Amino acid sequence: MRFRTQVSNPGLMLKIIRSLKQTATTCVLKLTPEIVGFIVTGPEVGPEGVQIWSQIKVSTLFDQYRIESRQSNEIHLDLAIEPFAKALRSAEAALESSGGARAFGWGDHADAEAEGGTGCIMKLAKKNDKAVLVFEIKAYTNAGHPLQVSHDVGVFVLAPAKVKELREPCCPTPDLFITLPSLAMLKGLTSRLSHLAPRVNVSGNNQGTLTFSVESDGMQLDTTWTNLTIPPFTTNSESNDDAERPSQLANLDLTESQKARRAQGADAVKARAPSDEMFQVTIGTKSLLKFLSTNVSNSGTIACICDDYCLICYIYIGDVADNAGVLTIFIPKMQE
């Protein structure tokens, strides 16, 4: 098993990790030849907790990426979020203080290649018979002197049996996809609502209407947005299953025929339900706040409602058209 890469975008990676930190203290880092995944699930989040299943293209975060394993060249690492974030903060600070990515390559020094000075190297190693992710950071001090910093982040390599237990939550065919307003605005609103009630009813329709509603002490407070964008896609209609996993709805590698079938599925959904029909789900305000605390990208967030079952949100990394990556956040219905 081998893994080594150069972290080309430590700032973005740090934003992703900070988003996970709002939900959990540990995560699973999934490494494959083409896709990097950050997963938050399992007993820590609880039956009504927020789960995160992300897919990010390797080229979005890394350069000189090399991975080998007996499990189809895939590696799953269970790690604590805070030490991982600390290493990334160190890499980002070194990059900024050195004047940009070029400084990570040791500028124009002739010995750059000889010393392997390629910035922030992340590699899987074993120290004292324990697996660690090693961050080797090379930069310059403000005085122009070479600086080398190393961080060891303890990890657990998941066995194949444990990897099989990593199952995304299954959910019914979504009834509505809608583009959310600004997450910062929603966070401010939800923070105020959380002082009124422990749960919030999220509802919307295919006319672009979205409503947040809470009830407390005989009072009902509704906040409604209108004319929100309805994105031109829906669930993968080629599946015969009654339930499918959230990240399958935001696949980074759809073929043109799959996109066409998905569009046909959208037409079918619209044909079945009047555009003004409201779909709703009641979720915990604390769970909603965890999602709204993510701060990865300003390129847009799409939510889908599975009526009376769950809310699934897709936070796109970079421009949606670039397919650089997406964080899929699953918020289940709050039980009575």
Q: pLDDT tens digits, the chain, 336 residues: what are they?
A: 999 999 999 999 999 999 898 889 999 999 999 999 999 997 667 666 899 999 999 999 999 999 999 999 999 999 999 999 999 999 988 777 665 444 344 343 333 333 444 489 999 999 999 999 999 998 877 777 788 899 999 999 999 999 999 988 888 889 999 999 999 899 999 999 999 999 999 999 999 999 999 998 888 999 999 999 998 764 443 444 445 555 555 555 444 444 444 454 455 554 556 788 999 999 999 999 989 987 676 667 999 999 999 999 999 887 666 678 899 999 999 987
Supply the pLDDT for residue 304. Answer: 95
> Is the pTM value of this prediction over 0.85?
no
- Tell me the pLDDT tens digit for each residue of 278-305: 999 999 999 999 899 876 766 679 999 9
Amino acid (1-letter code) at residue 271: A
Residues 300, 26, 88, 167: is their CA dihedral positive or negative? negative
- Please, what is the Cα angle at 140 between 136 and 143, to 5 degrees? 150
Which whole-number Å values give the CA distances from 3 to 11, 38, 62, 131, in the listed order?
21, 16, 12, 12
Nearest alpha-carbon partner for 252 in 58, 13, 19: 58
Which whole-number Å values give the CA distances from 61 to 13, 64, 179, in the listed order?
7, 11, 26
Supply the pLDDT for residue 241. Answer: 47
Supply the pLDDT for residue 243. Answer: 52
The total of other beta-carbon atoms located within 10 Å of residue 39's CB is 20
Contact 250, 328 (CB under 8 A): yes
Any idea where the domains of the chain sit in the sequence?
2-164, 171-332
Residue 293 CA to its chain's centroid (Å) = 12
Which whole-number Å values give the CA distances from 219 to 116, 155, 193, 213, 244, in the listed order?
65, 49, 12, 10, 37
- Please, what is the Cα angle at 185 between 184 and 190, to 5 degrees? 100
Supply the pLDDT for residue 171. Answer: 87
Give the max Cα distance, the chain.
Answer: 74
Burial bucket for residue 110 (CB in 10 Å: 0-12, 13-18, 19+): exposed
Class for the domain spanning 2-164: alpha beta
The total of other beta-carbon atoms located within 10 Å of residue 23's CB is 22
Amino acid (1-letter code) at residue 330: F
Nearest alpha-carbon partner for 56 in 236, 188, 247: 247
Buried b (16+ CB within 10 A) or exposed e, 78-106: bbbbeebbbbbbbbbebbeebeeeebbbb
Nearest alpha-carbon partner for 5 in 172, 135, 149: 135
Supply the pLDDT for residue 53. Answer: 94
CATH of range 171-332; options 3.70.10.10, 3.30.499.10, 3.40.50.2000, 3.40.250.10: 3.70.10.10
Residue 12: which residues within 8 A CB-CB, separation 6 or more?
Answer: 60, 61, 296, 317
Q: Are 2-164 and 171-332 the same fold in CATH?
A: yes
